[in-house]
Structure 1
Amino acid sequence: MEFKQLFENYRKPGKVKVISFRPKRLEAVRFVSEILAIKDKGLEGDRYKNTGGARQVTLIQAEHLDAIASYLGREKIDPALTRRNIVVEGINLLALKGKQFRIGEALFEYSGECHPCSRMEESFGPGGYNAMRGHGGITAKVIEGGLIKEGDDVIPL
């Protein structure tokens, strides 16, 4: 099998576990069961909603939350502390590099890795930044708007 074929081979779609947004900088994360993705802007009500930017939506893998917790010596971590919009499970988000993918009614395009910021030290304490390195998830652009719900599939195209 050639690499091109390998890059197109997924065992199953991922699933949306958690959806959140922050209306303003430094404001607490708000959890919702569904949210509207707006074409070329981001998620309704989120502070990062901006026209044309590369960081319209942030996603992180639930499996990486477990890794981060392990590095910090914790049993679990609150997904709100990562400050990411959508937590998914069952799919490697880095495998979406260079691809479009659908979540619910919305169509997204991978736009980059979501590296941790210095706020991770505040969120998790000493070592928080390094615990998230390589586990911060991805950023995406909204290509087609639509409703996203907890439990929706994450389908690479």
Structure 2
Amino acid sequence: MSNGTVAALFICPAAGEPMQPVTKVQALTGAGLQGDRYAIGKGSFNKGRQGQRQVTLINSHFFVGTDFGYIESRRNVVTAGVELMWLIGREFRVGDALLRGVKYCDPCTRPNKLSGNSENFRDLFHDAGGLIAEVLEGGLIRKNDPVIPPDKGY
């Protein structure tokens, strides 16, 4: 499998708040992205349980032909050129950070509710909701950084 790249980065300070585009962010070991709701246990899907969902990723090619912008997906990292589902259960690098793919991220109705977009995110992104990952080693992640999958197992 070839390397991909980070197409966009977003953080959100609390559940329901607007996503904020960033050009770089520090990944924190065992927590998530600095300044993001999931790193401090304030995400909608954490329900106060820090560490349940640390980083969310989605592939840019799923946005083609939709009216959804990357920011409306409410995912932290938008990638290009790497198949995220192949990373479930595997360690991979994003910039200077080491992540492990935990599970598929089901698309939900939250992006519609918060963005006001009339297209149905859940339907459009069925089987394309992205990946939930945990941070094994912290490090800086920048826009355009490589996403490096493992060498073995493909």
| Range into which the TM-score falls when normalised by the shorter chain | 0.7 to 0.9
TM-score where L is the length of structure 2: 0.85
TM-score where L is the length of structure 1: 0.83
User: By percentage of residues, which structure has more helix?
Assistant: 1
Contact in 1 for aligned 2:74/2:111 (Cα 8 Å): no
Q: How many angstroms apart in 1 are the aligned matches of 2:10 and 2:134?
A: 16
Match of 1:89 among 80, 95, 99: 80
Which secondary structure does the structure 1 equivalent of 2:64 belong to?
Answer: helix
Overall identity of the aligned pairs, in %: 36
Q: How many angstroms apart in 1 are the aligned matches of 2:100 and 2:112?
A: 29
Instruction: Specify whether residues 13 and 39 from structure 1 end up closer, same or farther in structure 2 by C-alpha distance, changes over 3 A only.
Output: same
Match of 1:53 among 37, 51, 54: 51
1:6 is matched with: none
Contact in 2 for aligned 1:20/1:86 (Cα 8 Å): yes
Q: How many angstroms apart in 2 are the aligned matches of 1:143 and 1:24?
A: 23
Segments of structure 1 that go 5 or more residues without pairing to the other structure are: 1-9
Contact in 1 for aligned 2:104/2:131 (Cα 8 Å): yes
Contact in 1 for aligned 2:109/2:120 (Cα 8 Å): no
Q: How many residues align?
A: 140
Q: Note the C-alpha offset of 1:65.
A: 1.4
Equivalent residues in 2 for 1:5-154, closer than 5 Å: 10=1, 12-49=2-39, 50=41, 53-66=51-64, 69=66, 74=67, 77-122=68-113, 123=115, 124-125=117-118, 127-154=120-147
Which secondary structure does the structure 2 equivalent of 1:46 belong to?
Answer: coil
RMSD: 1.6
* Counterpart residue identity of residue 6, structure 2: V
* Counterpart residue identity of residue 143, structure 2: E
Instruction: Specify whether residues 126 and 31 from structure 1 end up closer, same or farther in structure 2 by C-alpha distance, changes over 3 A only.
Output: closer
Q: How many angstroms apart in 2 are the aligned matches of 1:19 and 1:61?
A: 12
Segments of structure 2 that go 5 or more residues without pairing to the other structure are: 42-48
Q: How many angstroms apart in 1 are the aligned matches of 2:81 and 2:10?
A: 19
